[in-house]
Structure 1
Amino acid sequence: MKDIVFTLEFDDDIANSRANDYLEQGWTLLHVGTKLIDIYNEQAYYNTTYVVGANQEQYDKYKKELEEDNLSLI
């Protein structure tokens, strides 16, 4: 894991699907756990959280895709 240069955390309702998308691209699963989302009437609500990591090559591709997405919005 020394080559991990960037991480993403997903904890929303589609976190599993989003994490799997990155894992299919070769990213590394670094952590799976729970995250407190809300407390209502003394009841705690949790979501599963996933942390994935990218090496430099994957991170460069990720940044390029973000730039392309931002340009398409203009």
Structure 2
Amino acid sequence: MKSRYQSLYARFKPVAIEQKETKSRIYATLNKTMTMIEELQKQTDLELSPLTEEEKTVTEQLKSHIIDS
């Protein structure tokens, strides 16, 4: 049983690593996008309405999911 576990672990470890890296890249891109939006708003004197409760919840879930992974 132990050898089967080791075999499965060896097969799926690269997948897990790639998944974690992909999540990190998505999160970094999201952060950069949000920063660019904020900068554009400052330059054009526009304001974005505050996040809705649903948007806040999704943002927190995304952050915790990526950090936990």
* Higher share in helix: 2
Q: Which has the larger Rg?
A: 2
TM over 0.5: no
TM value normalised by structure 2 = 0.30
RCO higher in structure (CA 8 A, sep ≥6): 2
User: What is the TM-score normalised by the length of structure 1?
Assistant: 0.28
Bigger share in strand = 1
